Amino acid sequence: MIPNKSDVTDDQFHTELIPDKPEEACGVFGVYAPGQDVAKLTYFGLYALQHRGQESAGIATFEGENLHLYKNMGLVSQVFNESILQQLKGDLAVGHTRYSTTGSSRIVNAQPAVSETRLGPVAVAHNGNLVNTTELREEMSRRKFDFVSTTDTELIALAIASEVNGGKDWLEASLTAFQMCEGAYSLAIGTPVGLMGVRDPHGVRPLVIGTLGTNPQRYVLASETCGLDIIGAEYLRDVEPGELVWITEQGISSFHWSQKPARKLCIFEMIYFSRPDSVVEGESLYSYRMRIGRVLATESSVDADMVIGVPDSGIPAAIGFSQQSGIPYAEGLIKNRYVGRTFIQPTQVMRESGIKMKLNTLKDVLEGKRVIMVDDSIVRGTTSRKIVKALRDAGATEVHMRISSPPVTHPCFYGIDTDNQDQLIAATKSVAEIQEQIGVDSLAYLSWEGMLNATKQDPSTFCSACFTGDYPIDVPEPVKRSKLMLETPPVKA
């Protein structure tokens, strides 16, 4: 569990406990495959989606009207074992790996969220964030529901249950419930008779459909294509914005329930969140990230001896930067990939000498060199400052930082855990001031136009509100005020 904030100082809480990155949304997975080991398929799907959330994991399976559910805090490999998976019997399953957005990091908030109905249980796995949570909770309270969690996911499950209990079937009830939900949501929903995949009308969070090579054809839902690859499923297509796919023994059917779907895929999925081997519009995200690195070099190259990337997410852009600039690429930072999040406070001696649990420098590579360090983003600047100091301590004579995204000036309300606006360094400081604060010889960001043009897709089909403040889904003023502390971010070159 995350420690109570009162147990540590504000400085410790914000500089040591919270990662200096936008936190991933969540990972959802679903499979309809009678005769297959659906729990084990879901386990491996979640294993591939672990990067999307490391706080809790859960799987719900349906054996007729019997629901089997197991969820707990921790990584997928820590939560499940062979014995637990053997108890999760059924023909279909939904799974979830979580990073908390709405609702704190506690076991009661782990997903899938389950609700009982007159037709049997419903289990909901959710990636995203509703912006009308308060209103929806009040409505469900008026309908005499009790709450066991503080998540918006439970409210989606209760909205479906309410409509089912009012006499509707699963499909009609779900389509009615989604009209009550505002915000970002990609859902895998299990019922006793079938599996649903749903995206909100803007498709802010991804969701893909895959097929298992069986006869008859069986189907898989996953947040990313890497969740299909691990179990040998073939990518079929994306669930479209404002679409519900209904998977039963009769096959797969589609219902477009939104009158005005307009894709606004989160651009950070392209830059950082999704795994580099996941495919969007027929291309791996590794290729896109290399391309924005090349654009970054075109926009802001500088004379140096080597280009390095901040592992792991900064490496593809660093390689692209190197290729475009002609400056050799090298590894100057080594990541300990077996370190998860820890809330054990380091000793004062460790704190003074620099915490090197996750990254360590290659001194013989860096000594006497002018270094360009490429990373995907700067949120608060605390980690960047520590890495720059480590590079200088290792003997780098110059450190130039290049960021393969524009300055993050606005918080996200659609499923990314970003700080309030006053804690986003680019919302309160100019590029020159950030450069001074993190201690680099020069600093440059990728342009907004360069980021979007490099997608080779229609720029209007992406949400980039964290860079512009242009939110595609209206955010209620009380919610917006809770994070938008500043009216005019003073970002300037």
Catalytic residue positions, numbered: 26
| Pairing of the two strands 183-190 and 120-130 | antiparallel
H-run or E-run covering 62: strand 56-63
| Pairing of the two strands 370-375 and 306-309 | parallel
Helices (H), 189-337: 226-229, 267-268, 285-300, 315-325
Asked if residues 383 and 392 have their Cβ atoms less than 8 Å apart, the reply is no
CA distance 322 to 329: 6
CA–CA distances in Å: residue 171 to residues 30, 53, 92, 177, 219? 17, 29, 17, 10, 18
Q: How many CB atoms lie within 10 A of CB 326?
A: 9
Distance of CA 253 to the CA centre of its chain: 28
Q: How many CB atoms lie within 10 A of CB 305?
A: 16
Residue 188 pairs in a beta bridge with 125, 197
Closest by CA position to 231, among listed 245, 214, 247, 216: 214
CA–CA distances in Å: residue 342 to residues 339, 345, 377? 8, 8, 22
What type of residue is 172? E
